[in-house]
Amino acid sequence: MKINVLVAEIGSTTTVVNAFNGIGTSCPAFVGQGQAPTSVLQGDVTVGLKGAIDDLKNNLRTDELTWDDMLATSSAAGGLKMTVHGLVYDMTVRAAKEAALGAGGIIKMITSGKMRRTDLKKIQEIMPNIILVAGGVDYGERDTALHNLEMILSMGLNIPIIYAGNIENQEEVRLMCEEADNQVYIVENVYPKIDTLVVEPTRKIIQDAFEEHIIHAAGMSKVRELVKGPIIPTPGAVMEAAKVLKEDLGDLIIFDVGGATTDVHSVTQGSEEVNLILLSPEPEAKRTVEGDLGVYVNVNHVVEKIGIDNLRKEFPDADEILADYRPIPASEREKEFVERITTEAVLTSLERHAGHLRYFYTASGKKTVAEGKDLTAVKYIIGTGGALTRLPNKKKILEKIKTHGKEKELYPSETAVVLIDEDYILSSLGVLSKSYHDDALLLMKKSLRIGE
């Protein structure tokens, strides 16, 4: 059987392959999926990739499978580990952090101001894939970023560095990295002037650097030989999908609930009314990662958030379910329990992602200001990930977002429409969009059942 494009998602625990035909026509189609355990521990991730392809063959009932093109996303070998170093936490550090998260980075460490020897020790322990250095508005403070870069280079780790700080430092940064024989990517300042964020150029460079240097997981070099197109971090692929959909549908938010984390991706500039009272800028495309909100690996954290006594009131058999808790619920009772856990993960991640209004009083009367990400203009609430694509009441879980606020929160309104990534392929389509934009968009709308 011949396939146009095969997209592999090489995760930390599972490798999934999605097959697409009709690419380049008016009717691209998702034709099948295969999966297998990721084989990092076996010393070669291609073992897991071949297993997923064999599973796809079985599902398609074919002995032979060929394809024209293969693309990939990866979070194997711990994903894209990054450390971020800036000047002032609420300014350049936050801007750099937004850029890293939006690109699919897993931020292991953040520093503000001049780094110390203890910071270097932590970097050595983390051994990130990429180090991001920022600091200073353009033509502003220069010394902190140069000090931090010098400290980082002194370790001789030869980890690629991205510099996204004061434009005046660019030549010196380039010279310092050349002398240290360390690869450096120099990009536009993430915080060029007060109250201005420019994160997209840095996000693109992060993904380029990831693709160039991710070949650290066992067997990833072989995957690179198989894959003609880009390899990007899996969370970054979901953000790519979100941006493509936003161009066509309008402002949206995507909830990706997984076994270990809940990721939230929003693409919206917010409302004009809120922008006028916003204390500090927010990126149009924002991603937050809640590492304690997973429905399997981190279920105990979610149970703790709900409160075990409260959970027992809803589920008298809660202890029994937890004692034999499985990654994929089998019985109806188990599904109901996982839906309660997923609801908590969704609503808590919303609270952490969204901004809010704050009131205070001055001599001239009551004033209102806004802090954080404004979601009030969001038209679509989208669910993806294992839980929100497979649970029976997935739409009802997301519908609760529309009534969750207490007026101060900048949440989506009741007019927002809930959609589900029914085929569970948004991540694959995010990477597909980089090579086949129009096909990816059509396939996204099919998976979301738009137009049916």
In this predicted model, which residue has the larger pLDDT, 384 or 326?
384
385 domain-assigned? yes
Which pLDDT does position 77 carry in this prediction? 58
In this predicted model, which residue has the larger pLDDT, 61 or 223?
61
Alpha-carbon separation of residue 196 from 94, 95, 239, 337, 355 (angstroms): 12, 9, 21, 44, 18
User: Is the per-residue pLDDT at 46 higher than 90?
Assistant: no
User: What's the distance, Cα to Cα, between the start and end of the chain in Å?
Assistant: 29
382 and 256 in a single domain? The answer is yes
Are 417 and 402 in contact by the 8 Å Cβ rule? The answer is no
Alpha-carbon separation of residue 395 from 109, 401, 418, 448 (angstroms): 36, 10, 7, 12
**Two tokens, residue 409:** 């929160």
Domain count of the fold of the chain: 3
In this predicted model, which residue has the larger pLDDT, 214 or 232?
232
144 and 277 in a single domain? The answer is no
390 and 246 in a single domain? The answer is yes
Whose structure tokens read 């609760």? 400
Which residue in 3, 33, 49 sits closest to 424, CA to CA?
33
Give residue 142's domain range.
80-213
105 and 193 in a single domain? The answer is yes
Q: How far apart are CA 54 and CA 45, in angstroms?
A: 14
User: The pTM is what?
Assistant: 0.88
46 and 12 in a single domain? The answer is yes
Are 102 and 239 in contact by the 8 Å Cβ rule? The answer is yes
167-180 burial string, b = 16+ CB within 10 Å, else e?
eebbeebeebbeeb
148 and 15 in a single domain? The answer is no
Query: 239-290 pLDDT, tens per residue?
Result: 999 999 999 999 999 999 988 889 999 999 999 999 999 988 899 999 998 8
Query: 127-171 pLDDT, tens per residue?
Result: 998 999 999 999 999 999 999 999 999 999 999 999 999 999 999
Q: Which of 77, 106, 132 is the endpoint of a domain?
A: 77
Q: Residue 400 sits in a domain of what CATH number?
A: 3.30.420
Quick one: average pLDDT of 232-236? 85
Confidence label for 42 from pLDDT (cuts 50, 70 and 90): low
Give percent above pLDDT 90 in the chain. Answer: 72
Query: 335-346 pLDDT, tens per residue?
Result: 999 999 999 999
In this predicted model, which residue has the larger pLDDT, 75 or 130?
130
Alpha-carbon separation of residue 56 from 6, 45, 211 (angstroms): 10, 17, 25
Beta pairing partners, 109? 83
Q: Which of 253-262, 362-371, 418-427 has the lowest mean pLDDT?
A: 362-371
